[in-house]
Structure 1
Amino acid sequence: MMSIALAEAPPLTATPPLTLRLRQETRAEHERIEANSRFSRLMAPDLTMAEYRLLVARLHGHHAPLEAALEAMAHRLPACLALHRRLNRRVALADDLVALGFTPADIAALPRCEALAIRSVEQALGALYVLEGSTLGGQLIARHLRATLGIGAADGAAHVVPYGPETGTLWRDFRLALDAGADAAQFDPDAVIAAARRAFDRLDRWMAAD
């Protein structure tokens, strides 16, 4: 009797978690951000107060309109993201600017990045990925600012560690929510990645501009 060899089924390949894909597929954009002239100077041993004040002003001009746009999308995003605990950077940045010598009129006159159009859950999650990821490493930056400029959270660096001891927990919860939502097909992972890449690029160009 002839035996018929059954063709082996190809092995099933698991889809990588969305947060792993985000890290891998936005690596080039992330590296450009780190090489950005203003961000790279932030950790320089000869960082000046003038450079730092300008960096904080530019960050405020980027974060204020972006957080406002994200707040307008809050009703469409998972409640577990706890946006009321996350979208506080613009307030911290404004407080830092006051501590650094800006008046309320000065802050109101600062240039603002054109509001990012956020019309979908995917666009919101991609932008949030960039904002949330920027909280990591804050403790290292805070120590550097204390050593080089002699400032801390009370006198110009509150935005550096905006979540305090909750930073790790909030980042973990955000990653879990992204991965769970992607697994449940609540949104398009490819669109989230594309939105994150655009958000990285927008931040890079804004911070590099004069």
Structure 2
Amino acid sequence: MTGVMALHKRLREETRTLHEDLEHAVAIDEQISSRTRYCAYLARLWALYSAAESALGSHDFSALGFNYGACRRSQLIESDLSDIGVDLVNLRNAIRPKAPALPTIEHALGCIYVLEGSALGARAMAPEVETKLGLTGTYGAKFFWGYGEEGKPIWRAVLASINAIDPVSSEAERVIQSAQATFLFFRRWLPECSAAVTTSAVA
């Protein structure tokens, strides 16, 4: 398949506009401008990650060399919110938006590509979160710092699984369609999605 773009590169190109639009809509600098805004942002992020991870729960990735349930990002977000005083009972009882359907393993890979890629991108903002809000990888900003070395094998396995798919096949189209649908899911709900949150954080 010399001369054919690897699927993860095609995936990046075909989601680039959606990715850039999401970043613009979220305006992360504004979301970390105070602890109050940060808490509200994390609550919305938790709702989306937990919904997507629930949809992914019906798939077994062991044949692809990874266990996605071992490093769920929603767990980090919950821990962060608990650190800074959010009522997790209210959070868990809030209505979550429904994630896009993931009927095949290819759809699941497209979704994970967005979830993990976004989480890895958040790592670049971690020092700024610490500077502005005083939150760290052990208190209040675990999501931004991520799983460190523990999470790298999963990302590598996901990329390897994506690149094992013929980039001009129907399977590839399912990966791309799902990644695009996941970006649109985040675009619809992350900038303005409401979640019932009680927090003792102050601006």
Q: Same fold (TM over 0.5)?
A: yes
Stretches of structure 2 that go unaligned for 5 or more consecutive residues are: 194-203
Matches within 5 A, 1:168-179: 168-179=152-163
Per the normalisation by structure 1, the TM-score is 0.81
Counterpart among 7, 11, 30 of residue 41 in structure 1: 30
SS at match of 2:100: coil
CA RMSD of aligned residues (A): 2.4
Stretches of structure 1 that go unaligned for 5 or more consecutive residues are: 1-11
Higher relative CO (Cα under 8 Å, sequence separation at least 6) belongs to: 2
2:118 equivalent in structure 1:
134
1:87-126 residue CA offsets vs partner (Å, 9 max, x unmatched): x111111111111211232222333122432111221111
Per the normalisation by structure 2, the TM-score is 0.84
Tell whether 2:54 aligns with 1:65. Answer: no
In the alignment of these two chains, the number of paired residues is 193
Larger Rg: 1
Counterpart among 81, 98, 110 of residue 66 in structure 2: 81
Distance in 2 between the 1:176 and 1:160 partners? 24
Contact preservation (8 Å) 1:161, 1:167: no
Distance in 2 between the 1:182 and 1:80 partners? 19
SS at match of 1:72: coil
Matches within 5 A, 1:1-210: 14-42=3-31, 47-74=33-60, 78-86=63-71, 88-182=72-166, 188-210=171-193
Indicate the percent of aligned positions where both proteins have the same amino acid: 28
SS at match of 2:69: helix
Letter in 2 for 1:83: Y
Distance in 1 between the 2:107 and 2:29 partners? 27
Distance in 1 between the 2:122 and 2:56 partners? 22
Letter in 1 for 2:146: P
